[in-house]
Amino acid sequence: MDGARDPDDDTNSPVTVVVTRTVKRGREAKYEEYLRDITTVAREFPGHLGVNVIRPASPGAREYLLVFRFDSAKSLRRWENSREREVWVAKAAALTEGATTVQELTGMEGWFAVHGRTAPPPPRYKMAILSFVGAVPVIQILNAFLVPRLDWLPALARGAIIGAVMVVLMTYVVMPNIARLFARWLYP
């Protein structure tokens, strides 16, 4: 699989969209206002799970990344076809220059999105290896510190709590750092 998504995919899998825009010189303050406003509007949209803004890494750089997450491809399509989004895309066009890139990711692909890369996701075997490398220490830490404190719970409840903590740690802490550390291997 090359990482491309079927636009008609109606599954209930969460979807991540990475939008990259270059802000016109001198329009950075207005773009920051735009970001505040569009994220407020997007948060209210059905199926929206969150947005992260990755600002330019160095002084003078003007490339922003917006990472939107939706609960399903269907919710994403509703957002993409909405009047609200149409209005905000027009506002962005007045503040940005060059091509806007949009990359849609599902599943583990979102863990391996590296800033500044619009290439297809890395091979699945590389994602599997690095997921294993990230999961082993998390499992060990959870077994050492969390499991003993939850032994009074029924097994199903204990497993659900451990699973939720692991997913959050892997998604927001472990895998973004692993993807950054191994970026040269993931994207030769």
The whole-number pLDDT of residue 8 equals 46
Binning pLDDT at 50, 70 and 90, where does residue 4 land?
very low
**Helix intervals (H) in the chain:** 28-43, 73-80, 83-95, 124-145, 155-169, 175-181, 183-186
Tokens 């699973």: give the residue: 163
Domain contains 2 = no
- pLDDT, tens digit, for every residue of 54-76? 788 777 888 888 888 888 889 99
CA distances from 103 to 3, 28, 55, 111 (A): 10, 23, 17, 13
Q: What is the pLDDT confidence band of residue 119, given thresholds at 50, 70 and 90?
A: low
Same domain, 97 and 172: no
Select from 90, 112, 134 the last residue of a domain: 112
pLDDT band for 1, please (50, 70, 90 cuts): very low
Q: At what angle do helices 124-145 and 155-169 cross, to 10 degrees?
A: 130
Last residue of a domain, one of 112, 139, 158: 112
Note the pLDDT of residue 112.
62
- In Å, the largest CA–CA distance within the chain is 59
Q: Is 150 part of any domain?
A: yes
* Strongest mean pLDDT among 2-6, 30-34, 64-68, 124-128: 30-34
Mark whether 165 and 105 lie in a shared domain. Answer: no
- The Cα-based distances of 93 to 27, 59, 131 in angstroms read 12, 22, 37
The enclosing domain of 100 has a CATH number of: 3.30.70.100
pLDDT at position 10? 46
70 with 155, same domain: the answer is no
95 inside domain: yes
The answer to whether residues 95 and 33 belong to one domain is yes
> Which residue's entry shows tokens 């993807």?
179
Residue 3 clears pLDDT 50, i.e. is over it: no
Same domain as 104, residue 20: yes
Of 58, 82, 112, the position where a domain reaches its end is 112
Domain membership of residue 82 (yes or no) is yes
Which is more confident, 105 or 55?
55
Residue 118: is its pLDDT beyond 70?
A: no
pLDDT at residue 5 is higher than 80: no
CA atoms within 13 A on the CB side of 129: 9
Cα–Cα nearest to 92, from 38, 42, 25: 38
Do 173 and 88 lie in one domain? The reply is no
In a domain, 7, yes or no: no
Could you give the number of structural domains in the chain?
2
Domain that holds residue 47: 15-112
> Does 66 reside within a domain?
yes
Q: List, for residues 12-48, the tens digit of each pLDDT value.
A: 677 888 888 999 999 999 999 999 998 888 888 998 9
